[in-house]
Amino acid sequence: MRPDSVAWERAAEVRAAAQGWRRVGAIDASTEQAIREAYPDPCITPSAVWRVLTACMVAAVVACTFGALSLAFRPDRAGLQVLMFMFAAVSLVATEVLEALPQCARRGAAGATSLLGVVFLLVGFSLFLLETLNMRFDDAIDTALLASVLAWAVSAWRWGSPPYAAAAAISLFLFLGRLPHGRVLWALVGVALAGLAARRLDEASWAPSHRRGAAILVVAGILAVYAAVNVYSFDEHLLEDLGRFGAARVAPSPSLIVVSALATAVVPLLVLMWGVRSRRTFVLDTGVVLLALSLVTLRHYVHLAPLWVILALSGAALVALALTVERALRGAPGGEIAGVTADPLFADERQQRAFQIVPVVAAFTAPVAAPEEKGFAGGSGRFGGGGAEEKF
Amino acid sequence: MTHGRTPLAFTEDGGLGRDMNPDVVSAIARLRRDNVLGQAQATLFDRVARRRLVSVRFEIRALLYAGVLLLTSGVGLLVKEHRQDIGPWAIAGGIALAAVACLVWVIRNAAPFSWGAVPSPNVAFDYVLLLGLLLFASDLAYVEVEFTLLGPKWPHHLLVVGVVYLLGAYLWDSRTILGLALTTLAAWRGVSISVIQGSLPAVNAGNLRVNAVVLGALYVAAAALSVRLERKAHFEEVFANAGLLLLLGGLVSGVFGSELNWGVWLAALLVVAGLVMWLSFPLGRSLYFAQGIVAVYVGLLRLLFEPFRHHVSGLPFFLAAVLGLGALVLILAAHRRMRER
């Protein structure tokens, strides 16, 4: 990242913290103003609505221009690749220019141009491998995945975009999955990635967005390890299916399945322990998700009870657990136990609750009233008509 | 904030150790040194920045949401698989009992009614309310299926559910339940604005379009009345966003779905979207403006592509790019002018 961009980001981080302090009344307006003056941020930072709107419109302009030129000149295969590389170059240069201007850097346009630039580059490169170099399909996929790792990693580093770090990690693990012993590589590289990235989570010399990228890599590493050791993934050859066409599938030995079953139970617990010890909520959240996946895996192999019992009991257990934790924290002296609280602290809870409306409405709205849909449909497990619809 | 009452010794070491947000930690030390922050303030902020005080509120909310989702799924599956074994009266009675238990808890814990915003008494309140109302809706749907009370007019049970949701939203001040009420009422009219299900299915597209436009206009009117009469004025955003989605979505659907009179639909879309964008400035609502400009852009694409529908040309794409540039300029100008609430 450019030194200026890092400095702006650091100032924005402090100003955002001050905004949170002000929101809950922990500081007054004059103190917040003093903090803003002490940490000047020349960037214009519109709200998420403006940023998304700008990014979508920039993406539409670039895509339509590409469509116009490709239809106007009707290029052959080589010409299409050249056009894609040209668009990639223009988009990436535009990103550099936009990132350097404080009035443009955070408007969403730079995000759209960088994304399109990398996508044009990778698609153009893949076409070049397949059509110009006439590479075999499997070899082209491997080379394109390596290029993807490199392109997304460089973009994440240069423009400090955490989603690009995720894209680089996904490309890396897809590539590793295609190598011999891909499962072992997933586990080893996953551990290494999570371990290395975890050491940088609080690195003061790194820009805030690079630290957020490191957090994404920690999660990616943990998920890769879990996918490698999960017994269902073993049983169904999920990672082996990523390999080259026609690669031999070797059935895992029974002892390996037992070890995998144990690992399926142990890995989420280890992640949860790490989350509790490090007091990092994103690690804790990852552990909770993995634990849920392990319980689903257990249900897949061991039919403890009918599905509806499992669902209802686990739902009731989750509600009870949440209420117990909340009540315990509320009742504790100072509203905290061992530095953990149920208070929102400085988070914008009003905004969080507004965002919550969308998933609730999406999950629980009744299906539309169409005559043929009446009833409790048997096939898909649909239960509805009156506000509850579930699909399994 | 209870945590300010338990100050720890604030170490103004300025050293950047591990396990913290280093930028904020160093800023707190500097602000304390410059007397911008008091000792108690700096101590609290420092604890949070160093993660010595961590909030798990989001995690508690996520657990409650997942719990409600699993519970309602379990009940749904029970009914589907065992309606013959258990018997209709037992199922209907059981679900009703669970719904009543939830709603009794809600009534006992709810704050007194007010036309203003009422904070939730605790983090579980919204979810127990949601569970109670979902169980009520499921029970009603089951009773309707099993006993066919409404006969061929069975979709009207969605009207009952929507109205009950609406009452619940006002009684217990829940914007989430209001969102559910509005989408359920839309479902009653055959329109889905659910993210999952897509919108405006092909059957009876004309009627659905009119339903969407009328319902959307009603919701927008309800948003305006909420503010004007100061009756749950904070519901305005939910009413207006759902209404604009239906209204503008219906008009855009008319532009693309009509073969003959799409020009009329486009004219109506331009007028309505222009009005929405214009009104978004005094209201300070960027989301309304965004919905308006996206609808205009998408609607005008038909105008650009229509003359070229029988031969392939790059010209409409070029014009669409120019139109997008114009929209971008408008967005930048609007952002500079709008004072967001």
Q: What is the pLDDT of residues B81-130, one digit of tens each?
A: 877 777 888 888 999 999 999 999 999 999 999 999 998 888 889 999 99
φ, ψ dihedrals at B117, nearest 5°: -75, 135
Which residues neighbour A382 within 8 Å (Cβ) at sequence distance 6 or greater? A367, A376, A389, A390, A391
A338 shares contact with chain B (CB less than 8 Å): no
Question: CB distance A315–B20 less than 8 Å?
Answer: no
Residue A351 Cα, gap to closest chain B Cα (Å): 12
Q: Calculate ∠ Cα B155-B160-B165, nearest 5°.
A: 125
Residue B300, amino acid: L
Q: Supply the pLDDT for residue A373.
A: 45
Residues of chain A found within 8 Å of residue B78, distances taken between Cβ atoms: 308, 312
Is A205:A228 a contact under the CB 8 Å cutoff? no
Q: Supply the pLDDT for residue A369.
A: 59
What share of residues in chain A are helix, strand, coil (percent, to 5)? Answer: 70, 0, 25
A123 shares contact with chain B (CB less than 8 Å): no
**Range of weakest confidence among A99-103, A197-201, A380-384:** A380-384
If contacts are CB pairs under 8 Å, which of residues 35-54 in chain A contact chain B? 35, 38-39, 46-47, 49-50, 52-54
A370: nearest CA in chain B? B190
Residue B177 Cα, gap to closest chain A Cα (Å): 8
A307 shares contact with chain B (CB less than 8 Å): yes
Question: CB distance A208–B52 less than 8 Å?
Answer: no
Whether B176 and B73 map to the same domain: the answer is yes
Question: CB distance A386–B127 less than 8 Å?
Answer: no
Q: What whole-number distance in Å separates Cα of residue A229 and Cα of residue A191?
A: 12
Q: What is the mean pLDDT of chain A?
A: 88
Whether B75 and B20 map to the same domain: the answer is no
Minimum-distance CB partner of B321 among A65, A341, A365: A65
Q: Supply the pLDDT for residue B189.
A: 85
Q: What is the pLDDT of residues A20-77, one digit of tens each?
A: 999 888 999 999 999 999 999 999 889 999 999 999 999 999 999 999 999 999 999 8
Question: CB distance B69–A315 less than 8 Å?
Answer: yes
Residues listed for chain A = 392
| Between residues B90 and A243, the one the model is more confident about | B90
Q: What is the pLDDT of residues B136-160, one digit of tens each?
A: 998 998 888 888 887 777 788 889 9
Question: CB distance A68–B325 less than 8 Å?
Answer: no
- Domain for residue B205, yes or no? yes
Q: What whole-number distance in Å separates Cα of residue B122 and Cα of residue A331?
A: 13
State yes or no: pLDDT of A374 exceeds 70. Answer: no
Minimum-distance CB partner of B314 among A69, A313, A314: A69
A361: nearest CA in chain B? B180
Q: How far is CA A269 from CA A221, A226, A333, in A?
A: 16, 11, 29
Q: What is the pLDDT of residues B252-297, one digit of tens each?
A: 999 998 887 899 999 999 999 999 999 999 999 999 999 999 999 9
Which sign, positive or negative, has the C-alpha torsion B6, B12, B13, B14?
positive
Classified as helix, coil or strand, A391 is coil
* Whole-number CA gyration radius for chain B: 26
Q: Supply the pLDDT for residue A371.
A: 46
Question: CB distance A50–B188 less than 8 Å?
Answer: no
Provide the pLDDT confidence category of residue A381 given band limits of 50, 70 and 90.
very low
- Domain for residue B98, yes or no? yes
φ, ψ dihedrals at B190, nearest 5°: 85, 10
Question: CB distance B175–A319 less than 8 Å?
Answer: no
Any bridge partners for residue A337, and if so which? A340
Q: Supply the pLDDT for residue A389.
A: 37
Classified as helix, coil or strand, A216 is helix
Is B118:B103 a contact under the CB 8 Å cutoff? no
Residue B262 Cα, gap to closest chain A Cα (Å): 23
What end-to-end distance do the CA atoms of chain B give, in Å?
25
- Domain for residue B194, yes or no? no
Minimum-distance CB partner of B187 among A56, A71, A365: A365
Please say which residue of B136, B159, B188 terminates a domain. Answer: B188
Q: What whole-number distance in Å separates Cα of residue A262 and Cα of residue A222?
A: 16
Measured in whole angstroms, the distance separating CA B274 from the mean position of its chain's CA atoms is: 23
Which residues neighbour A253 within 8 Å (Cβ) at sequence distance 6 or greater? none
State yes or no: pLDDT of A331 exceeds 70. Answer: yes
How many Cα atoms occupy the beta-carbon half-sphere of A326 within 13 Å?
A: 21
Show contacts of A113-116: CB within 8 Å, 24+ apart.
A113/A58, A113/A62, A114/A155, A114/A159, A114/A161, A114/A164, A115/A59, A116/A59, A116/A62, A116/A63, A116/A87, A116/A91
State yes or no: pLDDT of B180 exceeds 80. Answer: yes
What proportion of chain A, given as a percentage, has pLDDT over 90?
70
φ, ψ dihedrals at B260, nearest 5°: -100, -50
Which residues neighbour A296 within 8 Å (Cβ) at sequence distance 6 or greater? none
Which residues neighbour A117 within 8 Å (Cβ) at sequence distance 6 or greater? A87, A88, A89, A90, A91, A92, A94, A95
Whether B83 and B146 map to the same domain: the answer is yes
Q: What whole-number distance in Å separates Cα of residue A246 and Cα of residue B96?
A: 56
Whether B260 and B294 map to the same domain: the answer is yes
Domain that holds residue B102: 55-188
Please say which residue of B163, B188, B213 terminates a domain. Answer: B188
Residues of chain B found within 8 Å of residue A13, distances taken between Cβ atoms: 21, 23-24
State yes or no: pLDDT of B18 exceeds 60. Answer: no
Residue A272 Cα, gap to closest chain B Cα (Å): 13
Residue B216: Cβ within 10 Å count: 25
Whether B268 and B226 map to the same domain: the answer is yes
Whether B263 and B307 map to the same domain: the answer is yes
Residue A128 Cα, gap to closest chain B Cα (Å): 24
Residue B37 Cα, gap to closest chain A Cα (Å): 7
Q: How far is CA A289 from CA A219, A222, A292, A294, B59, in A?
A: 11, 11, 5, 9, 11
Minimum-distance CB partner of B56 among A281, A313, A376: A281
DSSP B283-301: HT-HHHHHHHHHHHHHHHH
Whether B206 and B340 map to the same domain: the answer is yes
- Domain for residue B222, yes or no? yes
Q: What whole-number distance in Å separates Cα of residue B115 and Cα of residue B228?
A: 13
Q: Supply the pLDDT for residue A245.
A: 67
State yes or no: pLDDT of A327 exceeds 50. Answer: yes
Residues of chain A found within 8 Å of residue B75, distances taken between Cβ atoms: 308, 312, 383, 388
Is A103:A44 a contact under the CB 8 Å cutoff? yes
| Between residues B239 and A243, the one the model is more confident about | B239
Q: Supply the pLDDT for residue B155.
A: 80
- Domain for residue B135, yes or no? yes
How many structural domains are present in chain B? 3
Question: CB distance B74–A312 less than 8 Å?
Answer: yes
Minimum-distance CB partner of A384 among B16, B141, B154: B141
Provide the pLDDT confidence category of residue B8 given band limits of 50, 70 and 90.
very low
What proportion of chain A, given as a percentage, has pLDDT over 70?
90
Please say which residue of B121, B154, B188 terminates a domain. Answer: B188
Which residues neighbour A320 within 8 Å (Cβ) at sequence distance 6 or greater? none
Question: CB distance A387–B66 less than 8 Å?
Answer: no
What proportion of chain B, given as a percentage, has pLDDT over 90?
62
Q: What is the pLDDT of residues A156-210, one digit of tens each?
A: 999 999 999 999 999 999 999 999 889 999 999 999 999 999 999 999 999 999 9
**Range of weakest confidence among A342-346, A387-391, B200-204:** A387-391
Q: What whole-number distance in Å separates Cα of residue A142 and Cα of residue A171?
A: 10
Residue among A91, A210, A357 with most chain B CBs within 10 A, to mutate: A357
B255 closest CA partner among B243, B245, B264, B242: B264
Question: CB distance B191–A358 less than 8 Å?
Answer: no
Q: What is the mean pLDDT of chain B?
A: 87
Residue A145 Cα, gap to closest chain B Cα (Å): 31
Residues of chain B found within 8 Å of residue A353, distances taken between Cβ atoms: 126, 175-176
Whether B165 and B205 map to the same domain: the answer is no
Residue A12 Cα, gap to closest chain B Cα (Å): 10
Is B44:B4 a contact under the CB 8 Å cutoff? yes
Burial class (CB in 10 A: 0-12, 13-18, 19+), A364: buried
State yes or no: pLDDT of A357 exceeds 70. Answer: yes
State yes or no: pLDDT of A116 exceeds 90. Answer: yes
Whether B175 and B255 map to the same domain: the answer is no
Q: Supply the pLDDT for residue A243.
A: 79
Whether B278 and B263 map to the same domain: the answer is yes
Q: Supply the pLDDT for residue B110.
A: 94
Q: What is the pLDDT of residues A250-288, one digit of tens each?
A: 677 888 889 999 999 999 999 999 999 998 999 999 999
Whether B15 and B40 map to the same domain: the answer is yes
Minimum-distance CB partner of A71 among B294, B312, B327: B312
Whether B21 and B62 map to the same domain: the answer is no
Residues of chain A found within 8 Å of residue B190, distances taken between Cβ atoms: 368-370
Question: CB distance B176–A360 less than 8 Å?
Answer: yes
Q: What whole-number distance in Å separates Cα of residue A186 and Cα of residue A169?
A: 11
DSSP A127-176: HIIIIIS---HHHHHHHHHHHHHHHHHHHHHHH--HHHHHHHHHHHHHHH
Residue A77 Cα, gap to closest chain B Cα (Å): 18
Show contacts of A277-283: CB within 8 Å, 24+ apart.
A278/B19, A279/A339, A279/A340, A279/B19, A279/B51, A279/B52, A279/B54, A280/A201, A280/B51, A281/B54, A281/B55, A281/B56, A281/B58, A281/B59, A282/A215, A282/A218, A282/A219, A283/A218, A283/A219, A283/A222
Residue B168 Cα, gap to closest chain A Cα (Å): 14
- Domain for residue B193, yes or no? no
Question: CB distance B26–A204 less than 8 Å?
Answer: yes
A258 shares contact with chain B (CB less than 8 Å): no
